[in-house]
């Protein structure tokens, strides 16, 4: 039995264990996860790790000795399949039973797959774990053309990394623009132009009918009949939160597990954080959402750790996110969800600009492309919901800091 059992040894889980010790929590802590490796950073998997520019050692969230030093027991290679909230135990796929005093559920999600014909052929990948990235890399030698299904961040980053590796890439997106779920139209169009400029073919409003091949992928057939020959398919169409054992144990949830402002689930002594935790977010006007970002995993870990350590804090961190494609660094602050106006600062053609999103006149979010200064100054504008005249906002010769004064 552990005083705190953290299930899921990714960004949120690792940070929960770290934060517990930072908060002087003296009880026993175990960090259990189904992957074989110690906690590592996921974002590079679709960026410099996939492109072969970063080794796995550099992805580790802490050096292996750290966990020993902090007296955190790592339990890798174990998958929790059942939770007994009455006796406070979990059962793993291997039949091991582990007791807990309090539990932090930080399991992220499982990538969605296609359900069409051919979806199980060799050469089809999703990208969530180191193993996924390694398997993809292992097959790349025989790949001339790769089809990426989904024009979200992971799909586009993967397209950029594969292009760097000399592959021909075709991105298929069901919506009329890439990044439709997460960004405004100006940003979508900018990234479409960039990718096309790097030789990536982007097909919008396009859906997969079937994946073709015998044994391994040889092509993708689109709805409408067209066939794109390829040797690899990467699916980047979102995740399904990994919460079945918790829901089966009676926790409230559906699309993720519901948590309150202290990251508590409806089950006693069980917290949930990160990609799988559906919470009321101040920056979404209190709507209940799941956020899939390192920021959210880290900040919710800090809240849960403090709650366990006996302090009362509520989660209300400003959301932030980043993406790297080619030499473009995108930094996002706030949530553009439901904005009613978007103002562009700077010229997208200069490859350094920002999009400021407003809702009823208030600044709710910024997407900053190679524009770190706007990102830094934008944080407090979003946190305070500042109102600035859109015409003045569009003047990129005046800094956001000055505009806010
Ligand atoms: P994870 O980090 O996914 O950790 C969950 C862990 O739990 C995993 O190891 C999983 O295998 C394990 N697990 C699941 N179920 C069980 C079970 N039943 N028993 C035991 N273990 C289990 N975010 C950004 O902010 N910026 C980026 O640029 C960015 N890029 C990304 C690129 C890629 C390729 C991916 C996949 C994600 C990216 N993200 C990015 C998102 C970010 O990585 C996630 O939001 C973050 O990892 C969430 O942390 P988490 O702890 O909720 O889940």
- Residue 230 has a pLDDT of 98
Q: What is the pLDDT of residues 58-89, one digit of tens each?
A: 999 999 999 999 999 999 999 999 999 999 99
- Residue 135 has a pLDDT of 98
- Rounded mean pLDDT of the chain? 97
Beta bridge partners of 330: 323, 369
- Ligand 1, atom 32, lies closest to the CA of 43
- Residue 363 has a pLDDT of 96
Distance, in Å, from the CA atom of 300 to the CA atom of 307, rounded to the nearest integer, reads: 11
Atom number, ligand 1, closest to the C-alpha of residue 239: 36
User: What integer is the mean pLDDT of 22-31?
Assistant: 97
Q: What is the pLDDT of residues 117-146, one digit of tens each?
A: 999 999 999 999 999 999 999 999 999 999
Residue 177 pLDDT > 90: yes
pLDDT band at 179 (very low <50, low <70, confident <90, very high): very high
- Residue 395 has a pLDDT of 94
**Phi, psi (rounded to 5 degrees) for 264:** -90, 135
User: What integer is the mean pLDDT of 219-228?
Assistant: 98
* CA neighbor of 308 nearest in space, from 346, 273, 338: 273
- Ligand 1, atom 44, lies closest to the CA of 293
E strands, 109-185, in order: 109-111, 124-126, 145-149, 168-172
User: What integer is the mean pLDDT of 230-242?
Assistant: 98
Name the token pair of 185. 């139209």
**Range 191-221 burial, b when 16+ CB lie within 10 A, else e:** bbebbeeeebebbbebebbbbbbeeebbbbb
End-to-end CA distance of the chain: 55
Ligand 1 pocket test, candidate residues 6, 8, 36, most atoms within 8 A of CB: 8
Ligand 1 site, CB within 6 A: 7-13, 32-35, 42-43, 45-46, 79-80, 106-108, 127-128, 154, 242, 274-276, 292-295, 297, 321-323
User: What integer is the mean pLDDT of 380-405?
Assistant: 92
User: What integer is the mean pLDDT of 215-231?
Assistant: 97
User: What integer is the mean pLDDT of 93-116?
Assistant: 98
User: 176 C-alpha vs ligand 1 centroid, how far in Å?
Assistant: 28
Of all residues in the chain, the percent with pLDDT exceeding 70 is 100
Atom number, ligand 1, closest to the C-alpha of residue 275: 52
- Residue 29 has a pLDDT of 98
- Residue 118 has a pLDDT of 97
User: What integer is the mean pLDDT of 7-36?
Assistant: 98
- Residue 405 has a pLDDT of 82
- Residue 326 has a pLDDT of 97
Q: What is the pLDDT of residues 284-329, one digit of tens each?
A: 999 999 999 999 999 999 999 999 999 989 999 999 999 999 999 9
| Helix ranges, 256-323 (H) | 294-308
pLDDT band at 404 (very low <50, low <70, confident <90, very high): confident
Atom number, ligand 1, closest to the C-alpha of residue 295: 25
Ligand 1 pocket test, candidate residues 14, 92, 108, most atoms within 8 A of CB: 108
- Residue 3 has a pLDDT of 98
């Amino acid at each position: 039995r552990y005083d705190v059992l953290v299930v899921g040894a990714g960004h949120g889980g690792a940070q929960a264990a770290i934060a517990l010790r930072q908060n002087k929590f003296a009880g026993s802590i175990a960090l259990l996860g189904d992957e074989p490796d110690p906690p590592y950073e996921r974002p590079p998997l679709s960026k410099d790790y996939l492109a072969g520019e970063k080794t796995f050692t550099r992805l580790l969230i802490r050096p292996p000795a750290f966990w020993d030093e902090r007296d955190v027991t790592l339990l890798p290679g174990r998958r929790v399949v059942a939770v007994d909230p009455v006796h406070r135990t979990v059962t793993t796929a291997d039949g091991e039973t582990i007791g807990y005093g309090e539990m932090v559920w930080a399991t992220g999600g499982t990538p969605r797959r296609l359900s069409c014909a051919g979806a199980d052929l060799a050469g089809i990948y999703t990208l969530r774990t180191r193993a996924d990235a390694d398997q993809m890399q292992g097959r790349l030698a025989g790949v001339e053309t790769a089809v990426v299904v989904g024009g979200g961040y992971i799909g586009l980053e993967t397209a950029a990394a594969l292009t760097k590796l000399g592959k021909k890439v075709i991105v298929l997106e069901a919506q009329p623009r890439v990044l439709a779920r997460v960004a405004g139209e100006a940003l979508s169009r900018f990234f479409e132009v960039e990718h096309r400029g790097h030789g990536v073919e982007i097909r919008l409003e396009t859906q997969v009918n079937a994946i073709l091949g015998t044994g391994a992928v040889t092509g993708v057939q689109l709805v409408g009949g067209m066939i794109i020959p390829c040797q690899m398919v990467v699916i980047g169409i979102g995740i399904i939160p990994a919460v079945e054992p918790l829901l089966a144990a009676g926790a409230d949830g559906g699309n993720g597990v519901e948590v309150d402002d202290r990251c508590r689930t409806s089950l006693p002594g069980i917290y949930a954080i990160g990609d799988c935790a559906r919470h009321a977010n101040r920056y979404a006007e209190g709507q209940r959402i799941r956020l899939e970002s390192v920021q959210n995993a880290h900040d919710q870990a800090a809240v849960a750790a403090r709650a366990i350590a006996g302090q009362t804090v509520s989660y209300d961190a400003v959301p932030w996110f980043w993406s790297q494609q080619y030499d473009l660094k995108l930094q996002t602050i706030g949530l553009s969800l439901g904005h009613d106006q978007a103002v562009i600062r700077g010229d997208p053609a200069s490859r350094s600009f920002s999009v400021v999103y407003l809702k009823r006149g208030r600044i709710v979010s910024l997407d900053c492309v190679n524009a770190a200064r706007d990102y830094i100054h934008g944080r407090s504008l979003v946190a305070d919901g500042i109102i600035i005249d859109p015409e003045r906002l569009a003047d990129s010769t005046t800094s956001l800091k000055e505009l806010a004064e």
